[in-house]
Structure 1
Amino acid sequence: MNTFDITRGDSPVILGQPHGGTWLPDSLTARLNDNGRKLADTDWHITRLYDGLLDGATVVRSNVHRYAIDANRDPAGVSLYPGQNTTGLCPVTDFDGNPIWAEGQEPSEDEILTRRDTFHAPYHSALADEIERVKARHGVAILYDCHSIRSSIPFLFDGTLPVFSIGTNDGQTCAARIQCLTADPCLNATGMDTVINGRFKGGWTTRHYGRPETGIHAIQMELAQRAYLAAEAAPWAYDPKTAAPTRTILAKILKNLDHLARSGALT
């Protein structure tokens, strides 16, 4: 089993997909409780949602489920949102705060380090290599990190999440023009709401790689799953009709970013 896959393209845009994988080693699956085995916190069908939206986009996707390791968390285990409820590098609860491991089967500190070396580090090594390859070709690289989540999770946030949550760590991880070109199609979408740097300001991936002064820009898109699933519950079925208008907006964003990077305006 490959723990990650790469689709290599010639665009300046790279799609990171750290949470769409559902694979776990049998040894870990056996240690999950019934709740954990539901894998409810997956970014369901994220690869399908973005498939074909931008010709030439490079895609780096993890196949490993986030319950083994969260590839969008600080490898040192530091919280991205101090003082707020969240899940860690190797989660012990789901997004509702409920245990996911059978009693006594939570990962030890040594096991967390092993999982980090086995799953987290290889994914980010591959992602870093693609960023450098793309930057060498174009003089600039835009990492667009693809995420999705249930619309309502009281343990993590109040109320209902907007359809589009855009994160740039308060403008630090990309050029202002990139944030605008990402946000504008969302803000102009009928019947879809948007927030910029709200509850989700960008995870470790966005914050780690986004260094605009070096020509590497990063932005996170967190989508509410009501924008493309038939229902935000098992069996988490993809709904092409629901997804169609969302895909139209996402395609516009990615094409705008591609054009901006190719134009030389970021170099």
Structure 2
Amino acid sequence: MTTPAANPSNAVQRDVPGPFAPYTLRLPEAEALPLVCDSPHSGTRYPADFGFALPFELLRKGEDTDVHVLWQALPGVGATLLAAEFPRSYIDPNREVEDIDPAMLAEPWPGPLQPSEKTRLGIGLIWRDAGKNGLNPIYQRKLSVAEVQQRIADYHAPYHAAMREQIEGAYDRFGAVWHLNLHSMPADSYESLGIRTDKPLADFVLGDRDGTTASPAFTDAVAQALRKRGFSVALNDPFKGVALIARLGRPAERRHSLQVEVHRGLYMDEATRERSAGFGALQAALTEVAQELAAFVRSELPAGSR
């Protein structure tokens, strides 16, 4: 199996001729475990045909910048790590292909559409807005059906194919699979979601769609590994998980999928996207968390499959 080449500098790139390799894939560098992890929103290569009409700095607010770097120790403990190269604002791999706002299109979509709450918020499969309340529209034009279909074919579909291959390969070999869907969240997450609350945003939010996509034991193992290192952890508040874990998580079949959101204030300057002084300490803590999760997965496997 070939692994698409990574963006070697991990720096943001504008106007990249396309199509380019839609993801990077790091396979286990230790004894393989059925622990498959992905960072669908940390891509920083912006296709040349994007055609956005707002300042680039505003567009970048959608990035989960450097999340895959924070979790870079995962392959070293036996996990697989998949990371998108393209930005979610161009096409979002954590959405279903029917999650499109028809008002964004220049002509009727040729099949059924199912716009979700994410589309209402302007962040469906194809993002409409780069900020809350529709104040930062991304386009000053309608998108053709053909260009949206091309984005799906070049980026969204290959990402999902790679994820499916890793998940099913692990499941076929071990009879079980544990999946971490890795993200970061802005400090104003409650406000952006239209939620009025005085609660502070936790350092980490774990989403299992109200207990439906992962076993309580897996969710608790992740929560306890984080709390042991001094982080505050919330469950499904305010993020429950979207398309990827909904599609993959079937705990009754030993298919466990959990979304993990980290507060951006722990590791970056949200205005500049630059790593902050806390980046190294957080990365080191998540290395220890990865080691604990590998041990948890090992403990869940029958002796003969380890």
Q: TM-score, normalised by structure 1?
A: 0.86
Call closer, same or farther: CA 1:124–1:43 in 2, change over 3 Å: same
Q: CA deviation at 1:168?
A: 0.6
Question: Where does structure 2 lack aligned partners over 5 or more consecutive residues?
Answer: 1-19, 100-113
Residue from 41, 47, 50 that aligns with 1:25? 47
Q: Within the alignment, does 1:11 sit opposite 2:30 as a pair?
A: no
Structure with more contact order per residue of length (Cα contacts < 8 Å, sep ≥ 6): 1
State the distance in 1 between where 2:206 and 2:67 align: 16
State the distance in 1 between where 2:289 and 2:270 align: 20
Call closer, same or farther: CA 1:67–1:82 in 2, change over 3 Å: closer
Q: TM-score, normalised by structure 2?
A: 0.76
SS, match of residue 115 in structure 1: helix
State how many pairs are aligned: 261
State the distance in 1 between where 2:266 and 2:292 align: 16
State the distance in 2 between where 1:82 and 1:24 align: 22
Q: Within the alignment, does 1:72 sit opposite 2:94 as a pair?
A: yes
Aligned to 1:49: 70
Aligned to 1:143: 179
Call closer, same or farther: CA 1:18–1:41 in 2, change over 3 Å: same
Call closer, same or farther: CA 1:17–1:241 in 2, change over 3 Å: closer
Do the aligned residues in 1 keep the contact of 2:59 with 2:130 (CA within 8 Å)?
no
Instruction: Mark the structure with the bigger radius of gyration.
Output: 2
Matches within 5 A, 1:102-251: 102-104=139-141, 106-153=142-189, 154-156=191-193, 157-158=195-196, 160-190=200-230, 192-229=231-268, 231-239=269-277, 240-244=279-283, 246-247=285-286, 250-251=289-290
State the distance in 2 between where 1:60 and 1:245 align: 20
Question: Where does structure 1 lack aligned partners over 5 or more consecutive residues?
Answer: none
Deviations 1:214-239 (A, max 9, x none): 2221111011111222x222142254
State the distance in 1 between where 2:137 and 2:152 align: 19
Do the aligned residues in 1 keep the contact of 2:71 with 2:287 (CA within 8 Å)?
no
Call closer, same or farther: CA 1:217–1:79 in 2, change over 3 Å: farther
